[in-house]
Amino acid sequence: MGALELDVVLGDIRSLKEKRSAVRPVIAELRRRFEVTVAEAGHLDKYRRSLIGVAAVAADAGHVGDVLDACERLVAGRPELELVSARRRWLGPNDE
The CATH number of residue 63's host domain is 3.30.70.1120
Q: At residue 95, does pLDDT exceed 80?
A: no
Q: What is the pTM of this model?
A: 0.90
Contact 54, 46 (CB under 8 A): no
Provide the domain count of the chain: 1
pLDDT tens digits along 52-82: 999 999 988 899 999 999 999 999 999 999 9
- Which has the closest alpha carbon to 71: 51, 90, 86, 89? 86
Query: What is the model's pLDDT at position 96?
Result: 61
pLDDT tens digits along 7-38: 999 988 999 999 999 999 999 999 999 999 99
Q: Does 8 reside within a domain?
A: yes
Q: Does 94 reside within a domain?
A: no
Q: Does 95 reside within a domain?
A: no
Q: Does 21 reside within a domain?
A: yes
